[in-house]
Amino acid sequence: MTSGQLSLAPRGAAFALLALSSCGYHVSGRADLLPKSIKTIAIPAFANNTTRYRLNERLPQAITREFISRTRYQVVHDPNNADAVLHGSVTNIMAFPITFDTATGRATGVQVNVILQINLIERATGKVLYTNPGMEVRERYEISRDQLAYFEESDTALDRLGKQVAGAVVSVILEAF
């Protein structure tokens, strides 16, 4: 490399930083667009309009952990003692094979798509602070090809999906993305 090429690198980095700062870029988790009056949030069990059990329980638990670990908000159990209530509903869940063992024709990979309805309501006024009537999340998991060593991973995949939902819900509520 020539010295001319080296001197351009710092300018390029400075330009990139300037461009990012001028377009509204900010570090995730730093913005908080909820009203200052919101200090406590209740996250009751989600409604479940599907045949898949326990997902409606896992999601509020994951979202609660995410709020506790990433925000200043206190999560309370009783919606009557909360400044805001996060209501959710699992409206659809679809699971379908996406990869197959060519020798046996058996599925070796499954895609799970979950559709949720999420609403954050200010309890005192009834004002909708955030709503997403069709939030979609996806998770993929593998199925063992060896039936003797088979390990059901769908529950683990749903736990990962819960963490993914929790991160997305908390981020979008706080930063209005």
β 40-42/128-142 pair status: unpaired
- Note the pLDDT tens digit of each residue in 33-67: 788 999 999 999 999 998 877 788 889 999 999 99
Q: At what angle do helices 55-70 and 154-175 cross, to 10 degrees?
A: 50
- Note the pLDDT tens digit of each residue in 53-109: 778 888 999 999 999 999 999 999 999 999 999 999 999 999 888 988 888 888 888
Question: CA separation (Å) from 68 to 74, 109, 167?
Answer: 7, 33, 12
Residues in the chain: 177
CB-CB neighbours of 80 under 10 Å:
8
What's the CATH architecture for 31-175? 2-Layer Sandwich (3.30)
Cα–Cα dist 155/54, whole Å: 10
Cα–Cα dist 107/16, whole Å: 45
**Rg, the chain, Cα only:** 22
- Note the pLDDT tens digit of each residue in 144-176: 766 655 455 667 777 888 898 899 999 988 886
Cα–Cα dist 105/2, whole Å: 57
Average pLDDT over residues 135-140: 88
Best CA proximity match to 103, nearest among 145, 161, 134, 157: 145
